Amino acid sequence: MSIEKRGDWEPKIVVFACNWCSYAAADLAGLNHLEYPAEVRIIRTPCSGRFDPMFVLRAFNRGADGVLLSG
Amino acid sequence: MKKRVGVFVCDCGTNIASVVDTEKVAAAAGKLPGVIFATTYKYMCSDPGQELVRKAIQEQKLEQVVVASCSPRMHENTFRKAVTAGGINGYMFEMVNIREQNSWVHHDREQATKKAADLIRMAVNKVLHNKPLQASTIPITKKAMVIGGGIAGMQAALDIAEAGHPVILVEREASIGGKMTQLDKTFPTMDCAA
Amino acid sequence: MVAVAQHPNIELVTYAEVTAVNGYIGNFTVTIKKKAKYVDWDLCTGCGTCIEKCPTKKIKDEFDLGMGLRTAIHKLFPQAVPGKPYIDAANCTKLTTGKCGVCEKICPTKAIKFDDQDEYVNVEVGALVMATGYDLFKWEDAYGEYGYGKYPDVISGLEFERLVSAGGPTGGQIKRPSDGKEPKNVAFIKCVGSRDDTKGKSYCSRACCMYTAKHAYQVKTKIEDSEAYVFYMDVRTAGKNYEEFYQRALNAGATYIRGRVSKIYPRGDKLVLKSEDTLLGRPIEVEADLVVLATAMLPATDSGELAKMIGFSTDKDGFFQEAHPKLQPVETFAAGVYLAGACQGPKDIPDTVAQASAAAVKVCGLFSKSELATEPMTSEVDINKCSGCGFCVPICPYGAISLQEVQQRGNHGRPPFMRKVAEVNSSLCQGCGACVPACRTAALNLKGFTDDQLAAEVDALCL
């Protein structure tokens, strides 16, 4: 399967990041000025354990193109 | 709980403002449902910045506060205190990370500005569901344990004990002193190690 | 050392290990294993008669790194604090074969207890200071070019300390281990295991430049007509009066050669060091009677286990991870647990003392409060929704949830009855929220990160 990139299309990527590791790592990426695509939107969770599969379904249901859970 | 959100967007000098159009972001935030006040400031964490938050809470009768600036791991407590000082519960507050996770990692001004606006919309939506929370307290056993009886452990134990608190010093070997006891004279003064 | 033992506020527990840590800031329960000493220290006066009379006298003394001998019942070293002996069970004839018992017979206070057992005790404390120190890099396992430890006159810096110490096996006379002769030419090699990605560690061990300068100075001043050759990569003297001390070693006549020694091999009763003088750009060969290696500092053995048990992290090299490299150098990610000394990273004595005092201040700061405010973002149970299934109980990593009986009003005129519901201990709850998705009846929620709040965030992003 191939996806052609259309000029105006921007994916909606929802990230759930644990406050203590992934969220801190994203902060560290910032401190080091490492660049990554701007379509990423991070939601902070207190721990990846707080994450509920319900949120993935909800995100896709409402039009997200990708969900990343990191912890 | 009334919906009266104030949004405060920080320039962080040029750390944020050079990549994110903060004025545009604040203007967009001002139009969000529930938001009755939105502004920018050069350094929101500074004393005048915090004063701005405190004043706005009182003058605009804000019930919820959103601050868009650096990482909450940096300044969440700073602003929580400012919000409390303004007269509302410190947990009626959300922080938006538009520095570490936006202006420092993106270069495209348009995209970064859009992302900042999105993140603020997210926080405003969340803060409308926030409830006042109260910290509880736990007792403290005023006795310390130091694990390791070398130079570090002995010094720490002595300092704590001198301050008047009981200390238990646990050492794996049969004597305290650690590696230091095996050393002869020590640099740069050449005094004896024991 | 004596000041520590004499302080009325300090309880010394030596020959003991921490085996379990439970609880949280302000309220830790620590289990200590007091290893069997076979001597009742309450009765023992430390007279030392047992040590004199012990017939098992030829055990290699670990304190002198195997260069001296000791008895089975012994003190770690003569000035040990507390100054009382213990029996090394593995080497005691009475404990291994059942015969002997000389110490028991001659002890004037009847303090010997051959039936002594390891003892476990629990203590309640409010704060922990980690000061587990360092161990030295085992160069014998890694440096084949220096002989893998098969040349007796290639020794570590710590062994040199024992040789030069007045309390050491030679009484402070520098003698080489192979034949007991006083060495004339002593070579020092720095950065053995430090700053060496291939064989050792990438970091600088920080203290070696200075103690090597001290060793070279001691060779020059203690041994007549001696030469001290120091092979170095860099000389790092970043400390108050350190550069001056290095100059003192140079003025005493120490020869510094910039280069890594590539091989050591014996020639007669001497050792030949092959290197390059990188400042002159030519090969160099030095004949030495004794070679001293400045070996890297490593985290103390098993300290990683301790970190895991308490619940904070270690860095890539196994040193304890501070909460922030600049702003929180003595805190860990576990609240109420602080760091002091080389367990956090290689450091010298002044830095260790400074950090230990800093850790002590953190503890005193904590103890200056009568109670501690807790983060209110903890889980809460809506008991009207809770079915009492208990699913959440094993999921909680902090043991904060338990099932409690509550009285329920009976419907339709039935009498009240008891049923079980989950209860969250908010001082144990760390607010991770792992219990929330596990709850089948949506009775649990995490304050500050409720389902509503997170769903609102998802909605705002996606719509």
Interval C139-170: pLDDT, tens = 999 999 999 999 999 999 999 999 999 999 99
Select from C397, C437, C448 the Cβ nearest to the Cβ of A51: C437
Question: Using the beta-carbon criterion (under 8 Å), do A33 and B107 form an inter-chain contact?
Answer: no
Q: Residue C412: its pLDDT value, please?
A: 87
> Beta A66-70 vs C119-125: how paired, if at all?
unpaired
Residue pair C32/C46 in contact (Cβ under 8 Å)? The answer is no
Instruction: Give the mutation candidate from B77, B100, B102, B122 for the A interface (greatest A CB count, under 10 A).
Output: B100
Q: Hey, what amino acid is at C338?
A: Y
Q: Residue C184: its pLDDT value, please?
A: 97
Q: Residue A6: its pLDDT value, please?
A: 66
Q: Residue C459: its pLDDT value, please?
A: 94
Backbone CA torsion sign across C172, C176, C182, C185: negative
Interval C247-280: pLDDT, tens = 999 999 999 999 999 999 999 999 999 999 999 9
H, E, C per residue of C387-432: CCCCCHHHHCCCCCEEEEEEEECCCCCCCCEEEEEEEECCCCCCCC
pLDDT band of residue C395 (cuts 50, 70, 90) is very high
Q: Residue B130: its pLDDT value, please?
A: 96
B153 touches C at CB < 8 Å: yes
Instruction: Quote ipTM for the complex.
Output: 0.91
A9 touches B at CB < 8 Å: no
Give one word for C110, left, alpha or beta, with left for phi > 0 and alpha for psi -120 to 50. Answer: left
Q: Which SS3 state, helix, strand or coil, does residue C268 take?
A: coil
Residue pair C131/B150 in contact (Cβ under 8 Å)? The answer is yes
B105 touches A at CB < 8 Å: yes
- Report the predicted TM-score, pTM, of the whole model to 2 decimal places: 0.80
> Which residues in chain A are closer than 8 Å to B118, comparing Cβ atoms?
41
Nearest-by-CA chain B residue for C373 = B137
Q: Residue C364: its pLDDT value, please?
A: 98
Between residues C327 and C305, the one the model is more confident about:
C305
Q: How many CA atoms lie within 13 A of C17 on its CB side?
A: 11
Name which of A69, B79, B95, A47 is nearest C430 in CA terms.
A47
Taking the C-alpha atoms of residue C85 and residue C51, their distance in angstroms, rounded to an integer, is 8
Question: Using the beta-carbon criterion (under 8 Å), do B146 and C129 form an inter-chain contact?
Answer: yes
To the nearest 10 degrees (0 to 180), the angle between helices B22-30 and B109-127 is 30
Strand ranges for C168-261 from DSSP E: 185-192, 227-232, 255-258
Backbone CA torsion sign across B13, B16, B17, B22: negative
Q: Residue C399: its pLDDT value, please?
A: 83
B129 touches A at CB < 8 Å: no
pLDDT band of residue A1 (cuts 50, 70, 90) is very low
Ranges of chain B whose pLDDT falls below 50: none
C458: distance to nearest CA of chain A, Å? 6
Percent residues over pLDDT 90 in chain C = 88
pLDDT band of residue A5 (cuts 50, 70, 90) is low
Taking the C-alpha atoms of residue B9 and residue C365, their distance in angstroms, rounded to an integer, is 35
Query: C133 forms bridges with which residues in the sheet?
Result: none
> Which residues in chain A are closer than 8 Å to C437, comparing Cβ atoms?
49-54
Name the DSSP letter for residue C39: B
Name the DSSP letter for residue B135: -
Question: Using the beta-carbon criterion (under 8 Å), do A62 and C459 form an inter-chain contact?
Answer: yes
Q: Hey, what amino acid is at B34?
A: G
Q: Which SS3 state, helix, strand or coil, does residue B191 take?
A: strand
Tell me the backbone φ, ψ of residue B72, rounded to 5 degrees.
-60, -20
> Which residues in chain A are closer than 8 Å to C429, comparing Cβ atoms?
none
Question: Using the beta-carbon criterion (under 8 Å), do A29 and B105 form an inter-chain contact?
Answer: yes
Residue pair C93/B191 in contact (Cβ under 8 Å)? The answer is no
C165: distance to nearest CA of chain A, Å? 47
* Residue C330 neighbours by CB under 8 Å, 6+ apart: C322, C338, C339, C340, C344, C355, C358, C359, C362
Q: Residue C261: its pLDDT value, please?
A: 97
Select from A12, A43, A46 the Cβ nearest to the Cβ of C457: A43
Q: Which SS3 state, helix, strand or coil, does residue C57 take?
A: coil
Select from C133, C361, C427 the Cβ nearest to the Cβ of B178: C133
